[in-house]
Amino acid sequence: IEEAAAEQVKNNILVEDARTGLSVDALKRAISNNLFYVQGKYPEIATRNDYFMAISYAVRDRMLQRWTSSVRQYISGKNKIVSYLSAEYLLGPHLANNLINLDIYSQMEQAVKELGFSLDWLIDKEVEPGLGNGGLGRLAACYMDSLASLEVPAIGYGIRYQFGIFEQAISDGWQVEDTDNWLRRGNPWEIARREISYDVKLGGHVQRYIDEKGKLINNWIPGWVVKGVAYDTPILGYKVNTANTLRLWKSEAPRTFDFQSFNAGEYSNAVNQKIICENISKVLYPNDEQIEGKKLRLQQQYFFVSCSLQDMINIHLRSGDKIENFYEKFVVQLNDTHPSIGIAEMMRLLLDVHRMEWDDAWKVTTKTFAYTNHTLLPEALETWDLELFASVLPRHLDIIYEINKRFLVDVTLKFFGNHQKIDSLSLIGEGRRKYIKMANLASVGSFAINGVASLHTELLKKTVLKDWYEFSPEKFSNKTNGVTPRRWMVLSNPQLTKLITSKIGDTWIKHLEELKGLEKYAEDPEFQQAWMEVKLEQKKKLTRKIHGTLGMIVNPESLFDIQVKRIHEYKRQHLNVLHIITLYNRIKRNPDIDIVPRTFIFAGKSAPGYRKAKLIIKLINAVGKVVNNDPDVKDRLKVVFYPNYNVTNAQKIYPAADLSEQISTAGKEASGTGNMKLSLNGALTVGTLDGANVEIRECVGEENFFLFGLTADEVEKTKSEGYRPWEYYKNNKYLREVIDQINDGYFSQLDQLIFKELTDSLLYDDQFMVLADYQSYVEIQDKIDEAFRDKSNWARMSILNTARMGKFSSDRSIREYCNEIWKVESVPVELIDPSKTS
């Protein structure tokens, strides 16, 4: 270890002192120092959290040289910077990740051990920032990791929510939500930049007049103003000098007290203003919450986008360049429509603040933005009621009308007389009430539009963005999602990482396609055995975790069948449950039946207001209660609902999976990224031809993937011909038995009402084709049962899955964005010597 540290010192740092040294001794000194001088504690009275903070500050110190060096180089240089605008970042805990990316994991492990602790014990202490709902926020985090690892200058902008995604507990089988107070013990990874703040106007009205030069002036007189303060988190690249910035905005009142009201004796009025302003960055909205009419959500979106654009313009102008060249300094990626108000805000800043002419401003704007779409579900495409919008952003409404007016002239020329097309492309929707279509705003103002998997992009072109594709096909491209192998292998599965590295070296961590090198060992019995031993070890770890959390005993030799993701009808956790009940019924009919023992593990949160999703959680737990306790089952089936799914828990679950459930209705899951992490960790997939499953199957080989179900085309065809789920129920006696059992209260102590909403929706509506796919799902599960019995063949398939997942690294995705959309290049960072900066 010490030799390695000495080698690193040579390569990575310019001075060896308490804040930069990488040797075990330097790290020990740094931790003790921080404990004393930062935490104000000495060992006898220090808590676990004190140690966690002390070690985190020691790590952060070592990141700062890279970070300041990166910032200096980007700002002063002529490099183009990627600006990623996202309302969500699901980063996961930082400590272990930073140790890996700094390449000081083993030294730190040793240092902490010599101080009398275990590093794992401290790593487990970290509370993760849950600033996202699921895949979309986690993708943003993977992309930040890859941008830094590829040494691409980038800033991620978002919101520093005081409360992240709620914490989930299960009580009597139901989800209950608790606030996520992630900042309660402090956050050692962020640096408050109180000097970097911007005012954001809200509400009010627009005053129009002609100035002395005869120019029309639009003066926005706001109803109120809120201040955004920057909080920066350095994001390290893997074994490089680059550390990019994640800049999250916190909302505050411009002045803490309104002294006028205070003096007049209106104490509560004065304090109120502060509370109203702070509310904006208070809490993350859970997905699928009906956001219609949620003024605060629009305020949140505008707040962070306005701060971010003002910040970028500031950085650009400070470099001495002209505003007209903004798009040469920054390219802005919109992570879904949430930040798409940025297009109108950019226009406002250029027109009203920088006094540009419309055409020039529009040119800059449309050369700046690019838009990623993440969903085909029509209800997830954001719209804002026009009146509500006007009450928050009156000036932006004018601008949107003007953009629309000019745009529809072009549309009319192209689609002469086609009113359907004009209506569909218009930025304003004309229902009972008028509304603004944010996907249309994003599409008209961006020079590039992409989907997140091949199938998704193709469906976008055929459905929700069909008319946009016809209008400007050149804007469209596909960028299949990816995941970072640093967090999802090196960090969460160190044993498998070691085994792989022992065969093919460690360069695959930066070049995931090199995993191909494992293919030649797939048939090797010795390697197969080592591979399955690692898997078993991971399963045992999860087994202990399940026991510690739920008090349940599960068999690590059983097939670990895993479905972890947000709970949603389209993701079809209930289809999985129907299969579990089918197996249970087989055992009940024939208690000696020979079936492969399985442990079904579910985890995921439901949006608090989404009744049917919550009912699915209850159903999983209700079925679990019966199945897990029935003596006839003899522990051959176990159903586990692991509570509070987040990045921390995901890291423990993925490595233990034998089977990955990716069973969404074809055409509904844009991509999926859990599917990638599971397969990378050697799980086999049971899945539909949906999202990235299609590409995963192409890569791993169809013989190593368990396919079932209708295709997206078949789903549409079945629906258009008049889908009658009842028929499937009537004609399939096993399916009928399962549904009847749920309805008769078999799993709910004879309560026949509790699941009625769910079963009724399956029988009479079944938007997501659960009943249509049931038989094919059960059949493929029987094949899986058979396949799992052949241990050597299963091991071979598992190895091949990992070996062929190279495409799904977020490094590959980011390279594609860089080359094909952003046109940016890597900029290796030169370190500043901190001793020579004064």
Residues forming the site for ligand H2P (CB under 6 A): 133-136, 139, 287, 374-375, 452, 481, 565-566, 669-673, 691
Instruction: Check if the beta carbon of residue 623 is closer than 8 Å to that of residue 616.
Output: no
Cβ distance to ligand H2P smaller for residue 535 or 568:
568
Residue in 566, 598, 614, 697 annotated catalytic: 566
Shortest distance in whole angstroms from residue 473 CB to ligand H2P: 22
User: Given the DSSP bridges, would you call strands 428-430 and 243-252 parallel, antiparallel or unpaired?
Assistant: unpaired
Shortest distance in whole angstroms from residue 671 CB to ligand H2P: 4
Is 539 assigned a catalytic role? no
Shortest distance in whole angstroms from residue 481 CB to ligand H2P: 5
Residue in 337, 383, 480, 673 annotated catalytic: 673
Question: Rg (Cα) of the chain, in Å, rounded?
Answer: 28
Query: Strand, coil or helix: what is 563?
Result: strand
- By CB atoms closer than 10 A (0-12, 13-18, 19+), residue 442 is buried
Nearest to 59 by CA among 25, 89, 21, 91: 21
Instruction: Check if the beta carbon of residue 606 is closer than 8 Å to that of residue 614.
Output: yes
Which secondary-structure segment (H or E) carries 299? Answer: helix 295-318
Instruction: Give the sign of the dihedral formed by CA 422, CA 427, CA 431, CA 433.
Output: negative
Tokens representing residue 654 in the block: 């993925």
Tokens representing residue 598 in the block: 């399985």
Shortest distance in whole angstroms from residue 375 CB to ligand H2P: 5
Residue in 565, 618, 638, 697 annotated catalytic: 565
Instruction: Check if the beta carbon of residue 358 is closer than 8 Å to that of residue 403.
Output: no
Shortest distance in whole angstroms from residue 158 CB to ligand H2P: 15
Which secondary-structure segment (H or E) carries 410? Answer: helix 394-414
DSSP secondary structure string, 784-821? HHHHHH-HHHHHHHHHHHHHT-GGGBHHHHHHHIIIII
Is 579 assigned a catalytic role? no
Is 213 assigned a catalytic role? no
Cβ distance to ligand H2P smaller for residue 134 or 234:
134
Residue in 66, 677, 796, 804 annotated catalytic: 677
Tokens representing residue 600 in the block: 């079904």
Tokens representing residue 752 in the block: 């026949």
User: Given the DSSP bridges, would you call strands 224-236 and 191-202 parallel, antiparallel or unpaired?
Assistant: antiparallel
Cα–Cα distance, 312 to 760 (Å, whole number): 52
Instruction: Check if the beta carbon of residue 664 is closer than 8 Å to that of residue 690.
Output: yes
Cβ distance to ligand H2P smaller for residue 140 or 350:
140
Shortest distance in whole angstroms from residue 451 CB to ligand H2P: 9
Helix spans in 150-291 (H)? 259-263, 267-279
Cα–Cα distance, 199 to 251 (Å, whole number): 10
Instruction: Check if the beta carbon of residue 662 is closer than 8 Å to that of residue 710.
Output: no
Cβ distance to ligand H2P smaller for residue 453 or 496:
453
Is 463 assigned a catalytic role? no
Match 């490089």 to its residue by tokens: 240
Residue number closest to ligand H2P, CB atom: 135
Cβ distance to ligand H2P smaller for residue 134 or 445:
134
Residue in 571, 574, 614, 796 annotated catalytic: 571
Is 245 assigned a catalytic role? no
The backbone region for 265, taken as left when phi is positive above 0, alpha when psi lies in -120 to 50, beta otherwise, is left
Query: Strand, coil or helix: what is 709?
Result: coil
Match 């038989």 to its residue by tokens: 775
Cβ distance to ligand H2P smaller for residue 86 or 492:
86
Is 566 assigned a catalytic role? yes
Amino acid letter, 797: M
Cβ distance to ligand H2P smaller for residue 280 or 692:
692
Shortest distance in whole angstroms from residue 515 CB to ligand H2P: 21
Using CA atoms, how far residue 751 sits from 314, 743, 744, 747, 758, in Å, is 63, 8, 7, 8, 14
Task: State the catalytic residues.
Answer: 374, 565-566, 571, 673, 677
